[in-house]
Amino acid sequence: MNKFHNKIVWITGASSGIGEALAYQFAKEGAKLVLSARREQELQRVANTTGLNLENILVLPMDMLQFELFPKKVNTVLAYFGQIDVVVQNAGITQRSFVKDTDFNVYRDIMELDFFSTVALTKAILPHFSKRKTGHFVAISSVAGKIGTPLRSGYCAAKHALIAFFDSLRAETWQENIKVTVVCPGYINTPISLHALDGKGNVHGKMDSNQSRGMSAATCAQRIVKAVKHNKKEVYIGGMFEVMAVYLKRYFPAIVYKMVQKVNTAK
């Protein structure tokens, strides 16, 4: 039997990109889904595309910055399905601005969405996992959480913080059979750069060339689901260049420091 058959998988940031692709992949694996993001119409489109029956999917719109509502959202899922088995925390935003040009409030906004919202939802779900002595947190970080690059200082910092937070959580909860998988994608062909924030907090509105040439979201989702299935602790997904850079950073950091100095900084 498929490992995810009849499992309840909650995906945030499910209205586009990697989150949307994960919805389709988990549906193929036989999972029942909870789809969350701000845009209810887009969530409904994704839900319809999965082909799941209404009793097997819950569209749950939520603003990831309204932390105080998270316990209520958890209760809504439990009332609908009775349990949560896997939560994929994928919501987030990136950045395209130099440190010198970035307002401090932009850093706050990035950290609120990319880090603190994930911490808040984790804490809201954790009691349920602890009570059942089972559950799987899947955190979508980034290769940028391993390697700092120009124009992404806030994004890199938030994604780096996610890795550290979930490493600690894993170390604290393994005896309760709570699993943690941290996913670090590289260049994936999604709209993320279109929605990036500039130094003043405005929408960047441009598609990065590296992003447009990146791995498809569908392929990325397949690899994420495979990693979760095999209980991988941390996984790097993307092109050879990005994945190679992570290992170079570990063993030959000086080489990577020189490499990132040559990154194209055209915005």
Tens digit of each residue's pLDDT (9 = 90 or more) over 49-100: 999 999 999 999 999 999 999 999 999 999 999 999 999 999 999 999 999 9
Give the Cβ contact number of residue 155 at 10 Å: 26
Res 2: pLDDT: 81
| Structure confidence at residue 266 (pLDDT) | 55
Q: What is the CATH number of domain 8-261?
A: 3.40.50.720
pLDDT for 208 equals 78
Kindly list the domain boundaries of the chain, sorted by start residue: 8-261
Angle between helical axes of 17-28 and 40-50 (0-180°, round to 10): 30
Residue 125: name the closest of 112, 138, 140, 108 by CA.
138
Picking from 89, 131, 100, 96, the residue whose alpha carbon sits closest to that of residue 110 is 96
pLDDT digits (tens, 9 = 90+) for 120-139: 999 999 999 999 999 999 99
Q: Please identify which of the residues 24, 107, 155, 187 carries the catalytic annotation.
A: 155
Q: For the segment 166-205, what is each residue's pLDDT rounded down to a tens digit?
A: 999 999 999 999 999 999 999 999 988 888 999 999 988 8
Cβ atoms within 10 Å, residue 239: 16
The β-bridge partners of 237 are 185
Average pLDDT over residues 154-168: 98
Separation of alpha carbons 108 and 30, rounded Å: 38
Mean confidence (pLDDT) of the chain: 94
Active site residue 155: yes
Q: Is the pLDDT of residue 212 over 80?
A: no
- The better pLDDT of the pair 206, 197 is held by 197
As a whole number, mean pLDDT of residues 145-162 equals 96
CA distance 260 to 101: 19
